[in-house]
Structure 1
């Protein structure tokens, strides 16, 4: 077998759009060596398959003596990444049987399987070490890690067996206490509650004061399952009394309150809800807890205090769903409520019929001067929601006629125009908006918004000349408003639609002169593009460099840089570099830290300070991470990073320390906090720090899928970074999971295409699975859009149908494509990945 060098054929995926002639435009900081993505994922049971993997590792190590090596960041704490040869993705004939295998190499292979999510493979690999009677320095970690891998795979009996081996045979091993915790979790998985309790209690004896709250909670859960109710209450009380970060503590109190409610102990449940209310700040959450407390009292027969709490929810949190639920209870118990308050709560909840009834009733009960303008505004909007536009206009007109000095006056004017727009009467809407601008100029915010809406409606209804004129008027009359800046861009776009190139350039230049940040960068980008179109290369270069400087890490800077270098969007580098002189670059980074932040500390800066080492959030987080309690650990790390976000040195130290744990998301956040404090762009700081913010974790997996599917691996890293920040356990509201955040429906489709056996959506929490699924779908979009990467990314995010429509409207021009995307989140998605990709190319690409 020949030695495989670094891929050089990624140009098959070069973006095809390039810098074509214009068509008219519109106006928040991750392989198996033994299987491919269509074969079974079950662990290899034959010893020869492990020998294949180990032999391949050995061969690659020898081959790479004179080549670059793949950086694989392991979960073993270290200052810099550990360099591990990449397991080959193809099968080779098995070698002759060998009496023993180097246990260090086998452990390394198992660690790679464990990190990448091949848990069954990891179990088999670690078992090999145990089967060959390896020395204790290898057998003990193999038993411990086998337990970790088996737990993640759900092989609870295997986990119990291997952890028992460690506990019984290696009594001096430093991981023995954690082995008791892990075995306790395995017993929970087997519903062996008493055994679990015993192991957790043993852990507390051996390592008291670290994560006591989380351990007592597990003990209480097991006791409750055994029917030991009183004992569970005592354990839950111990869990609450021990230390944990605020957010998980609130969640624990909520859980304990529910347990007390189920056990008919309302006073204890109320005590937990009240403790939550003492510290919680989020209004919807506070409302839900107050509502739960109220319902607890009502269920216990305490009508008076229960209704009093319901009244509190109704009065103090009218914009929440809990307020509407409380209102229903109060009305059912014949409580006296103001019709105005009923109307407000019903309107905010979306019960427009009830809102209209209550608001109209209130208006008949009081004189006009006692009725707030807010009532008529809500009444008009509610009528509009149920389709009664005439009544809506009348309600808004009441404010205009009767409340000329009220703060709601300007809003009522705009709502009349919006009502006509929603009816589809665009000319009447435009007429109303222009009437507002002509007659109510003293209401600057209202008039500016009216002009913007009029200009926008002209522009989206085939009247570019009128659109440009209105937007120019807006910029002249209200130059310091956000509407004016947006209008200037749309006016410039309208001028371009009319082929009025000099006027378009003038307007874009004016926008650049009156704005900052990304808006300024976008304006300079367009000025530069117009200069290129007219053949004025010197002017174009000058202005494009201003775009680069205006927002260094953003999309417009990245796009301008591509134009300066005459480079197509997402054009891959000639080659890749994933090996660096880490020691030298670390020293350079720490010199920069001293100079930038005035740090006088002598010696290496990366080791954790005494304050960080003693911080209970870090102590708890690291211990929780070690025992696989990742969700709980993440809560601790989040609180820790937030506490030190204004401390540059601590952010740097945490970025390195958390990387060593494979807590990648939090390492990236620490690095981002550091760069933000430096007030520099990512590519302006030392590359060692920049790579902390834009890492290449799971490199072996990404390189495998990139080679299989023939696309640029840096594109995959950019997508993973945006989707999940390399958090393999990431989950979003629509059910997206894993490194590439594939939604359930799409994941089922991909699993069928890959013939993935026994697919479960939780499979995507495995790094290799998340990457494999995301790569498949990305590759499908790249094929569909003929390697037009921006369009493929839009299809990945919003669906291929929409992306096809946007691509047709843009005529294939990459900058116009961005303007045709009608979903703001999708436009931002594509632009962010564009910016990320350019940073990755600068950090890891060779010219």
Structure 2
């Protein structure tokens, strides 16, 4: 057996050698009976090499920036940051490096990394002051400082943007400059910036900007001009939220002037006419703190829309207890208030009172709808 194994091993080795050898040229000869058999060679095996994958070329800096812009648009800040950083590190071209820094500044700002945003934007402004992106970097620097409550530096950044890129978004840029200066306590600078914004082209009306100008007048103690502007805004707008705001701010100015009765009339006007506005809720607080009588139904409405459901319900109940002929609308809002307090059976009972007793009320159909929704959503009918 040992000999047989050795012979098999030798034959196997010879076979492997033969596979790798180049066969000799052989002429086929027909064997004669007396001749021994002649070996016939088959085709020589060839070695096949599996090709390896071709490595991808390293992306160019401009390709990385393109990829980063797409990632930034899609909200993938991690990929955008990595691509901008790689473009910055791999490029010596000034325009590409500036673009990469501008991208990094935006990514870090949007991702809430304000210190990192400052670093990128400052480097862009310092290293490439003539870049197309330098002016934009100043504006975003202002936004970053505002987010960090560094208002003086924000005002300076907005002013720098205006010097470099006038005539593009002047109305908005001047207004942001004014906001920063106002927050920094530099009211004269803020007033000038707001006035410049008012003189610049802008989309929409200028009610909010005029309110800011009026607030700045009030901040420096010029209440007369502030009140004039508040009245001008109130007369020119149809927006109830704006009207409520100027009522509240005018009341504040009148209190500063010692004209409390006139101030309370402004607050009452807001409560009676603009219950949905949060500024009306602030006016209501002033009235309650001053013990000024307020209609309980209106008080309940203002509290309800401000999300103050407990005090709203108490006001509605006081109103119902005070009269035998209530405005039936109170049952509709009382039901909404009870539902907000998760008192569903009581809410349905309030709407049922409106439905069965006051069929001509303007909220009759809405009461049905709210009842049905409450039963479906909260009571598993």
Q: Label 1:328 to 1:203 Cα distance change in 2 as closer, same or farther (>3 A).
A: closer
Q: CA deviation at 1:302?
A: 1.3
Q: Label 1:346 to 1:110 Cα distance change in 2 as closer, same or farther (>3 A).
A: closer
Q: CA deviation at 1:126?
A: 1.9
Q: CA deviation at 1:110?
A: 2.2
Contact 2:187 2:219 in 1 (8 A): no
Q: What is the aligned counterpart of 1:109 among 63, 67, 79?
A: 67
Q: CA deviation at 1:305?
A: 2.6
The yes-or-no answer on 1:296 pairing with 2:253 is yes
Q: CA deviation at 1:138?
A: 2.6
Q: CA deviation at 1:128?
A: 2.5
Matches for 1:664-743 after TM superposition, within 5 Å:
none
Matches for 1:99-498 after TM superposition, within 5 Å:
102-170=60-128, 172-188=130-146, 195-224=153-182, 226-246=184-204, 249-254=206-211, 257-258=214-215, 261=218, 264-317=221-274, 342=295, 344-346=297-299, 348-349=301-302, 350=312, 351-360=315-324, 375=326, 377=328, 410-411=360-361
- In the alignment, structure 2 segments of 5+ residues that lack a partner are 1-52, 303-311, 339-345
Q: Distance in 2 between matches of 1:139 and 1:390?
A: 69
Query: Secondary structure of the residue that 1:208 maps to in structure 2?
Result: coil
Contact 1:144 1:166 in 2 (8 A): yes
Q: Distance in 2 between matches of 1:287 and 1:178?
A: 36
Q: Distance in 2 between matches of 1:269 and 1:159?
A: 38
Q: Distance in 2 between matches of 1:391 and 1:130?
A: 67
Q: CA deviation at 1:122?
A: 2.8
Q: Distance in 1 between matches of 2:241 and 2:333?
A: 23
Q: Distance in 2 between matches of 1:293 and 1:134?
A: 58
- In the alignment, structure 1 segments of 5+ residues that lack a partner are 1-55, 60-97, 364-374, 400-407, 423-452, 454-459, 461-821, 825-847
Q: CA deviation at 1:141?
A: 1.9
Q: CA deviation at 1:346?
A: 4.5
Cα deviation, 1:565-584, whole Å, max 9, x if unaligned, reads: xxxxxxxxxxxxxxxxxxxx
Q: Label 1:380 to 1:292 Cα distance change in 2 as closer, same or farther (>3 A).
A: same
Match of 2:20 in 1: none
Query: Secondary structure of the residue that 1:217 maps to in structure 2?
Result: helix
Q: Label 1:222 to 1:324 Cα distance change in 2 as closer, same or farther (>3 A).
A: closer
Q: Distance in 2 between matches of 1:149 and 1:171?
A: 20
Question: Whose Rg is larger?
Answer: 2
Q: Distance in 2 between matches of 1:227 and 1:331?
A: 31
Query: Secondary structure of the residue that 2:323 maps to in structure 1?
Result: helix
Match of 2:37 in 1: none
Cα deviation, 1:371-393, whole Å, max 9, x if unaligned, reads: xxxx4635877999997x99999
Contact 1:380 1:396 in 2 (8 A): no
Q: Distance in 2 between matches of 1:199 and 1:136?
A: 23
Q: CA deviation at 1:347?
A: 5.9
Q: CA deviation at 1:208?
A: 1.5
Cα deviation, 1:442-481, whole Å, max 9, x if unaligned, reads: xxxxxxxxxxx9xxxxxx9xxxxxxxxxxxxxxxxxxxxx
Q: CA deviation at 1:162?
A: 3.6
Q: Distance in 2 between matches of 1:196 and 1:348?
A: 40
Q: Label 1:242 to 1:823 Cα distance change in 2 as closer, same or farther (>3 A).
A: farther
Q: Distance in 2 between matches of 1:295 and 1:344?
A: 24
Contact 2:301 2:333 in 1 (8 A): no
Q: CA deviation at 1:151?
A: 2.3
Q: Distance in 2 between matches of 1:294 and 1:188?
A: 29
Q: Label 1:276 to 1:132 Cα distance change in 2 as closer, same or farther (>3 A).
A: same
Q: Label 1:356 to 1:124 Cα distance change in 2 as closer, same or farther (>3 A).
A: same
Q: Distance in 1 between matches of 2:141 and 2:327?
A: 64
Q: Label 1:393 to 1:256 Cα distance change in 2 as closer, same or farther (>3 A).
A: same
Matched residues, number: 299
Query: Secondary structure of the residue that 1:209 maps to in structure 2?
Result: coil
Higher relative contact order (CA 8 A, sep 6+): 1
Q: Distance in 1 between matches of 2:281 and 2:196?
A: 36
Q: Distance in 1 between matches of 2:164 and 2:173?
A: 12
Q: Distance in 1 between matches of 2:231 and 2:269?
A: 13
Q: CA deviation at 1:107?
A: 1.8
Q: Label 1:254 to 1:358 Cα distance change in 2 as closer, same or farther (>3 A).
A: farther
Q: Label 1:201 to 1:410 Cα distance change in 2 as closer, same or farther (>3 A).
A: closer
Q: Distance in 2 between matches of 1:379 and 1:196?
A: 49
Q: Label 1:378 to 1:232 Cα distance change in 2 as closer, same or farther (>3 A).
A: closer
Q: Distance in 2 between matches of 1:383 and 1:222?
A: 43
Q: CA deviation at 1:145?
A: 1.6
Q: Distance in 2 between matches of 1:213 and 1:277?
A: 22
Query: Secondary structure of the residue that 2:328 maps to in structure 1?
Result: helix
Q: CA deviation at 1:330?
A: 6.2
Match of 2:27 in 1: none
Q: Label 1:137 to 1:331 Cα distance change in 2 as closer, same or farther (>3 A).
A: closer
Query: Secondary structure of the residue that 1:297 maps to in structure 2?
Result: helix
Q: Label 1:390 to 1:129 Cα distance change in 2 as closer, same or farther (>3 A).
A: closer
What root-mean-square deviation, in Å, do the aligned CA atoms of Structure 1 and Structure 2 show? 4.8
